[in-house]
């Protein structure tokens, strides 16, 4: 990395070095939701709304054992699903979305989770963030960039976007990031947000990208 490049450089110039440093810092960055199929990832991602991945991963083993495919979820007793996912919060709405999504997957997509953005967005409870998680992690299709709370926070702190709306942040990130890095970018920012760039007390001294961060206090 050139010694000339600083936090004052345009985002288009900093994004490459930022990605390289984060890849080196977090070589294990990947989706934290445990899953064995696109359907399991879809369900886990729906459950992760306003809930930690750790909590979701405690709930899903029993849930997936009880409902092994989309038809099982589609035909499930809604109350039973609610009870199994109760600890993830907003359980009634989540159970409704999971069941209605699976009903559509069975009826319209022969039980297979769609592998494109347009069809995924027709499923109950699925917006771009969830669709991007499924496409990127389950199908390795970089159609967009996942913007969760960590990505939003780091994109703003790094001055990669000045927006607050997740879809606008996503567009800003897509505009400056090579397409073959769209999937990795979200994983890297999420891991960095959890391990280093905490919401309340960022550990700037230990941050590998502090020289490229306008918000660094180091």
- Active centre residues (catalytic): 129, 148
Percent helix, strand and coil across the chain, each rounded to 5? Answer: 60, 0, 40
Quick one: tokens of 101?
């999504």
Taking a C-beta distance cutoff of 8 angstroms, is the pair 124, 104 a contact?
yes
Contacts of 193 (CB under 8 A, 6+ apart): 149, 150, 151, 153, 154, 199
Whose tokens are 């919401």? That residue is 199
Closest CA to 154 of 107, 184, 191, 183: 191
Contact (Cβ atoms closer than 8 angstroms) between residue 185 and residue 177: yes
CB within 8 A of 213, min separation 6: which ones?
A: 7, 157, 158, 159, 204, 207
What does the alpha-carbon distance between residue 19 and residue 218 come to, in Å, rounded to a whole number?
20
């Amino acid at each position: 990395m050139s010694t000339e490049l600083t936090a004052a450089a345009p985002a288009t110039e900093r994004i490459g070095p930022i990605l390289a440093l984060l890849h080196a810092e977090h070589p294990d960055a990947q989706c934290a939701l445990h899953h064995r199929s696109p359907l399991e990832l879809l369900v886990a991602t729906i459950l992760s709304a306003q809930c930690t991945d750790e909590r979701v991963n405690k709930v899903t083993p029993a849930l997936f054992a009880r409902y092994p495919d989309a038809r099982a979820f589609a035909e499930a007793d809604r109350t039973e699903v609610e009870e199994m996912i109760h600890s993830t919060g907003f359980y009634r709405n989540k159970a409704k979305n999971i069941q209605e999504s699976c009903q559509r997957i069975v009826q319209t997509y022969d039980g297979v989770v769609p592998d494109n953005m347009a069809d995924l967005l027709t499923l109950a409870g699925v917006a771009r963030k969830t669709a991007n998680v499924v496409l990127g992690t389950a199908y390795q299709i970089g159609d967009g960039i996942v913007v969760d709370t960590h990505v939003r926070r780091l994109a703003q702190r790094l001055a990669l976007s000045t927006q607050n709306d997740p879809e606008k942040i996503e567009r800003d990130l897509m505009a400056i990031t090579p397409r073959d890095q769209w999937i990795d970018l979200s994983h890297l920012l999420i891991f960095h947000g959890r391990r280093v760039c905490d919401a309340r007390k960022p550990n700037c001294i230990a941050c590998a990208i502090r020289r490229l961060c306008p918000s660094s206090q180091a």
